A = this chain, B = another copy of it.
Amino acid sequence: MVYDRMDDRPAFVGIPTFLHLPALADAEALQQEHPDAVIVGAPTDTAVTHRPGARFGPRAIRAASNLRRGSYHLGLGVQPFKLLRVFDYGDADVVPGDIERTNQAVRAKVGEVAKAGARPIVLGGDHSVTYPSVSAVAEALGRGRLGVVHFDAHADTANDSWGVLLSHGTPMRRLIESGAVPGRAFVQVGLRGYWPPPSVFDWMREQGMRWHTIHDIQRRGFEAVLTEAIEQALDGPDRIYLSVDIDVLDPAYAPGTGTPEPGGLTARELLQAVREVTLRTELAGADVVEVSPPYDAAGITAEVAHRVVMEILSALAAKRAEGGA
């Protein structure tokens, strides 16, 4: 045989599941495999308000990187796939042009994973998928247990976008209004730019939401803000859903996205933050969204989104290695 093991082949060889992880054919397989984490794609961009293209995000993130299954995290000193059972469950049955049915499809697919006791890791797609994804995880956990740590340039708490309620600018509001997650269980990091308007921040305050703008980060330093954010996240919920909108990064690091906002985080900061949130909380699910391949000339946005997933898995593995998770 040419390669030592099939999971050791070059990244570009073979039909691309995430990191050549084994695919799960159906819900039954999902049940039988007892996974620790499961990749789910949500290839939709019907809900974007500016540059579309995120429907091709899951495919691009899966295809990114030259990593192989023997991957070893140099900072954490773990080989995640020796410690965790991770699978690729394909994509939700999204419907281009129909946000509502797309939401239902995401909710159903993520729900299957959550109910099987595994952590769903959702590859977006636009940020509208976080509403059904978090809803499904919260429902599987039972009321009042789930908090959300949310890295983003934008608060995504508008009531609507020109009347569209399930837009990518509204998922956090829908989650709060639907009761899936209370406002005080939200911590947002990286907000900047010129949106939403003051009235929305007023609403956020009323809900007890907490957030950290890039201006806070520049004033206080990233470490200090991150530490406080994690403490806030641990104040209440006992499980965390981590939602990473790739536009929390500066457009230099993530040009391939729909609503780029200059002045954002560096990749070093984001990867560190993802690692520490995962290490210090109990992760119940995660997503990385808003990767838009048509705007991603050299594929670097898909690469960093891919590493966000790897950082989550590595930190989960490190906890497992230490007897946790």
Give the interface of A toward B (CB within 8 A): 1-3, 8-17, 23, 41, 43, 45-53, 55-56, 59, 62-63, 66-68, 70-75, 77, 79, 88, 90-91, 93-99, 101, 105, 161-164, 166-167, 191-198, 213-215, 218, 250-253, 255-256, 258-264, 266-268, 271-272, 294-300, 303-304, 307, 310, 314
Given contacts A56-B12, A195-B67, A298-B297, contact A162 B96 (CB under 8 A): yes
Q: Can you show 23 pairs from A to B with CB atoms below 8 A apart? A: A10-B162, A13-B41, A15-B15, A15-B62, A46-B46, A51-B66, A51-B294, A52-B53, A52-B55, A68-B195, A70-B197, A73-B194, A74-B213, A75-B215, A95-B162, A96-B162, A97-B166, A250-B253, A251-B298, A260-B300, A261-B303, A262-B303, A262-B304
CA distance A74 to B96 in the complex (A): 25
Given contacts A46-B97, A52-B53, contact A266 B250 (CB under 8 A): yes
CA distance A11 to B193 in the complex (A): 15
In the complex, the answer to whether B266 meets A271 with C-beta atoms within 8 Å is no
CA distance A124 to B277 in the complex (A): 39
Residues of B within 8 A of A161 (CB): 96-97
In the complex, the answer to whether A307 meets B67 with C-beta atoms within 8 Å is no
User: How many whole Å from A79's CB to the nearest CB in chain B?
Assistant: 7
The oligomer's copy count stands at 6
Among A23, A62, A294, max chain B CB count under 10 A is at A294
In the complex, the answer to whether A12 meets B101 with C-beta atoms within 8 Å is no
User: How many whole Å from A222's CB to the nearest CB in chain B?
Assistant: 10
In the complex, the answer to whether A271 meets B263 with C-beta atoms within 8 Å is yes
Residues of B within 8 A of A9 (CB): 93, 162
Given contacts A163-B98, A262-B300, contact A218 B272 (CB under 8 A): yes
In the complex, the answer to whether A164 meets B67 with C-beta atoms within 8 Å is no
CA distance A50 to B1 in the complex (A): 21
Residues of B within 8 A of A255 (CB): 297-298, 300
Name the one of B72, B164, B272 contacting A195, with C-beta atoms under 8 angstroms.
B72
User: How many whole Å from A299's CB to the nearest CB in chain B?
Assistant: 8
User: How many whole Å from A64's CB to the nearest CB in chain B?
Assistant: 9
